[in-house]
Amino acid sequence: MRQDVTDWVALNLVRGIGPRTANQLIDLFGTPARVFTSTRRELEEAGLKHETISEILSSTILERAATEVERAERFGAAILVRDDESYPAALRELFDPPIVLYVCGDLAAALVQPCLAVVGSRRATIYGINAAERLARDLAARGVTIVSGLARGIDAAAHHGALAGGGRTIAVTGTGIDATYPKEHGPLSREIIESGAVLSEFPMETPPLAQNFPYRNRVLSGLCWGVLVVEAAEHSGSLITARLAGDQGREVFAVPGPITSANSFGPHLLIQDGAKLVRGWEDIVEELPRRLKEKVLVSGSAGVSGPVQPGFDEVELTPEERVVLKELYPDATRHIDELIGAVGLGAADLMNALLGLEMKDRIRQLPGKMFIRKL
């Protein structure tokens, strides 16, 4: 690892210095290394506080940075700094771009394709999860990289959908890159790395602090040409992402929901404010700039029409499975006791049909013996 990378990491570690101040210091002094060799007077004239100046001038901050770089290397993370050629160009356009990015996976390959952020409620409804999964799957199969935040709910559904569509996906985390949150998304994180990238601007071992997640949203939207909000309650962080996207000149999309659902507040508000209403993948792709639209339509699963449902057309359903599938819906759950009365099958035949449909990826079983049809 180059010494100048250690200098960038050190500046990123200094308490009291966020990305905005860090960028200002680099612009003022020329390089991070020059910040650490400056005098106390120069740092005072730059407007820094006494405690921050003392940390910059101490020898320990560079030692901590060297340890941080070694820890990242052991974990398998690459470190990109703002002036690297491989640093995402779209992020440089931000008012306060991260000066350091920790990356696992092939970020460059994922960024070759148009990127769309898909965000929404952590407490998503079945309708929202199905919508996010389907849209992400359809778009990823056509060559759009899906970017989200690895959180529960809509984020996870978007990542899963992109993977199911055989496409690329990027997770932007609000923790250190080695501190997967939530912990149960460890396997999902590893899958994402295989087909895209996981990245963070936060130092290694940074825990899931609440204030970091809204802050990372500017990176999530900054990587993309547009942001899609699937579900969001009145005070959802997804609305922050949408606002940031608008400020950054990105397109904003929203999926409408039932007027009786609190999670529909955000998308409906955005649509009232001018966001594009989304019914399917076509509504998003048609807003792409021409050069990106052509790239999407000739890449991925080129020539595919309609929703992408991998393997569904080839799957042979038994008569019992067809009967059961007709009684299941993508936006409402049904209990097994309801199905017994509706399909006219014995309990054993019904269980066999449900198991077969699950194995063929046509339905999903939820806790409490509830079932729902997959889109």
Among 129-138, 195-204, 209-218, 313-322, which is the least confidently predicted range? 313-322
For residue 104, the model assigns a pLDDT of 98
What pLDDT digit, counting tens, does each position of 306-330 carry? 555 444 444 578 888 989 998 888 7
* Two structure tokens written together for 16: 């009291």
Model pLDDT, residue 297: 66
pLDDT averaged over the chain? 90
- Cα distance between residue 228 and residue 135, in whole Å: 10
The number of beta carbons lying within 10 Å of the beta carbon of residue 313 is 6
Given a cut of 80, is residue 243 above it in pLDDT? yes
Identify the structural domains of the chain with CATH numbers, from first to last.
Answer: 3-105 (no CATH), 107-298 (3.40.50.450), 319-373 (1.10.10.10)
Task: Give the pLDDT band of residue 332 (cuts 50, 70, 90).
Answer: confident
Reading the block at residue 134, the tokens are 């389907």
What are the DSSP calls for 14-65, one per residue? STT--HHHHHHHHHHHSSHHHHHTS-HHHHHHTT--HHHHHHHHSSHHHHHH
Segment holding 81, helix H or strand E: strand 78-81
pLDDT tens string 13-38: 999 899 999 999 999 999 999 999 99
pLDDT in tens, 348-363: 889 889 988 988 878 8
Stretch 277-299: mean pLDDT, rounded?
A: 82
Summarize pLDDT for 134-189 with one digit per residue, the tens. 999 999 999 999 999 999 999 999 999 999 999 999 999 999 999 999 999 999 99
